[in-house]
Amino acid sequence: MKPEERQDLVQYRLKLSLESVKEAERLLMDPPHPRGAVNRIYYAIFYAVQALAISRGKILSKHTHAISFFDKEFVKTGLFDKNMSKIVHNTFDLRLRCDYQDFIEISTEEARDFVEQAEFFSNAVKNYLGES
């Protein structure tokens, strides 16, 4: 992939990340849909992690590979705080529970907390990559 194509793809993934945060916010309006919001929250983070991977010349489509890549390349090296890893892991786990387990309930307030974390994460990645 040419450098300009890579940069375009990084910007596109960041755009998807920030759009997903907004989608999650809308899903928590009246009437709220916290389970749907969790999905968008997770994808906001996943797209941001993809942007980081692409910036390093990696294309990671598997979620577990993307999480491992983030931890290894960005958290263990000190580029991002361990709290960022917790955000990734917590939202991944919550999304799996909401999408695949029965009788899982999440409150609107809990989902709103995760939206704030996703927005923080997306903006931190955006700032790290120097995107405006």
Confidence of residue 3 (pLDDT cuts 50, 70, 90): confident
What pLDDT, in 10s, does the model give residues 35-64?
A: 999 999 999 999 999 999 999 999 998 999
pLDDT at 13: 97
What is the 8-class DSSP label of residue 74?
I
pLDDT at 87: 97
Confidence of residue 67 (pLDDT cuts 50, 70, 90): very high
Instruction: Judge whether residue 110 has pLDDT over 90.
Output: yes
pLDDT at 116: 97
Domains of the chain with bracketed CATH: 3-128 (1.20.120.330)
| 31: exposed, middle or buried (Cβ count in 10 Å: 0-12, 13-18, 19+) | exposed
Question: Structure pTM?
Answer: 0.95
Task: Read off the pLDDT of each residue in 70-79 and give the average, rounded to a whole number.
Answer: 97
R_g of the chain, CA atoms, integer Å: 15
Instruction: Judge whether residue 132 has pLDDT over 60.
Output: no
Q: Percent of the chain having pLDDT more than 90?
A: 90
Instruction: Judge whether residue 131 has pLDDT over 80.
Output: no
Token couple for 71: 């931890």
In which residue are the tokens 């009437």 written?
31
Cβ neighbors of 31 (< 8 A, separation 6 or more) are none
Instruction: Judge whether residue 121 has pLDDT over 60.
Output: yes
